[in-house]
Amino acid sequence: MAIASVARTEVSGDPAAAPDRPRRGRRATPYLLLLPGMAWLAIFFAVPIVTLFGTSLQTPAPSGEIGAFEQTFRFANYADAIQEYSTQLVRSFVYAGIATVLCLLIGYPLAYMIAFKAGRWRNLLLVLVVAPFFCSFILRTLAWRQILGEEGFIVRTLKELHVIPAGMALTASTTAVIAGLTYNFLPFMTLPLYASIERLDPRLLEAGADLYGNPLTVLRKVTLPLTMPGIVAGTLLTFIPAAGDYVNAALLGGIGNRMIGNVVESRFFQVVDYPTAATLSFVLMAAILVLVFLYIRRAGTEELV
């Protein structure tokens, strides 16, 4: 199960670092193996990031032609863009943060259940966690829109039971966007959590139970600290894509729920304002990288790769 093994290695150390492994082949072999793939990543990941930075420092060409820009190294683009779109920037991080916490709250007990209570069904249940990936994520997001929509069965029932007022809508709202993000990124949280919970030694939990007596204390003092690598990996894998996502906000939210991804998309395709789009992308990436590196200082790079 590839996705499971992805999750598993996210939290495991690098076995190649073991010193006793014999060196095989000639000195050039590793470089020949690395060359094509790393060249691909260098040309189509690293170079574009540099051109993105270049584009972020451009200004409209004096000719006034749409889509024509000059490389003027105007660093004030950053101040302008951050000022103009601070609401959407903050909103992206708040939505992604709430969705990440919700994913952790939903995913942790689920991963724990699969690791300790599923018995021989363990691998099958793990497959079920990632099964939604096999169905188009845009279709699933739209399905939620219709399930929670005005004509949907849930809203009608809730309204008839007077749980929610007649005028209230569940779609085109903050709740809907966060719920969509939570649903879509739940597997990214659950898999690394599982990988790290699975490796817990049950004897440690028993010892904890003998020592503290209280299940909550055992959770706080034994289970959570030991599964911290899984929590860190899951949080990153959920938060990063969620902060940059714009599909959920576009399909489940209203005008007041636009995230930074929506702004980047519309700057590119509707307004043809490449510098602002590039600036905002760069700000988003920089903000996320700062968060990631703060995390990595606790976990170590190799452990996250």
Q: Between 72 and 165, whose beta carbon lies closer to other proteins?
A: 72
φ/ψ of 32, rounded to 5, equals -65, -40
Q: Is 73 helix (H, G, I), strand (E, B) or coil?
A: coil
First to last CA, the chain: 18
How many C-beta neighbours within 10 Å does residue 93 have?
Answer: 18
CB 148 within 8 A of CB 194: no
> What H or E segment, with its residue span, contains residue 171?
none
Question: In angstroms, what is the minimal distance from the CB of 214 to other proteins?
Answer: 15
> What H or E segment, with its residue span, contains residue 34?
helix 29-41
φ/ψ of 71, rounded to 5, equals -80, 100
Among residues 140, 159, 199, 221, which is the contact residue for other proteins, using CB under 8 A? 140
Of 20-28, 83-91, 201-209, 222-230, the segment contacting other proteins by CB under 8 A is 20-28
Q: Rule CB under 8 A: is residue 15 a binding residue for other proteins?
A: yes
Please list every residue from 160 through 199 that binds other proteins, using CB under 8 A: 183, 186
CB 221 within 8 A of CB 52: no
Q: Rule CB under 8 A: is residue 254 a binding residue for other proteins?
A: no
Among residues 65, 76, 83, 139, which is the contact residue for other proteins, using CB under 8 A? 139
Among residues 102, 191, 236, 249, which is the contact residue for other proteins, using CB under 8 A? 236
Q: Rule CB under 8 A: is residue 155 a binding residue for other proteins?
A: no
Question: In angstroms, what is the minimal distance from the CB of 265 to other proteins?
Answer: 7
Question: In angstroms, what is the minimal distance from the CB of 80 to other proteins?
Answer: 17
> What H or E segment, with its residue span, contains residue 69?
strand 69-71
Q: Rule CB under 8 A: is residue 217 a binding residue for other proteins?
A: no
Question: In angstroms, what is the minimal distance from the CB of 62 to other proteins?
Answer: 19
Among residues 104, 106, 200, 226, which is the contact residue for other proteins, using CB under 8 A? 106
Name residue 284's amino acid.
L
Question: In angstroms, what is the minimal distance from the CB of 188 to other proteins?
Answer: 11
Q: Rule CB under 8 A: is residue 99 a binding residue for other proteins?
A: no
CA distance 57 to 44: 20
Q: Rule CB under 8 A: is residue 74 a binding residue for other proteins?
A: no
Q: Rule CB under 8 A: is residue 37 a binding residue for other proteins?
A: yes
User: Among all chains, which residue has been given the structure tokens 């302008």?
Assistant: 80
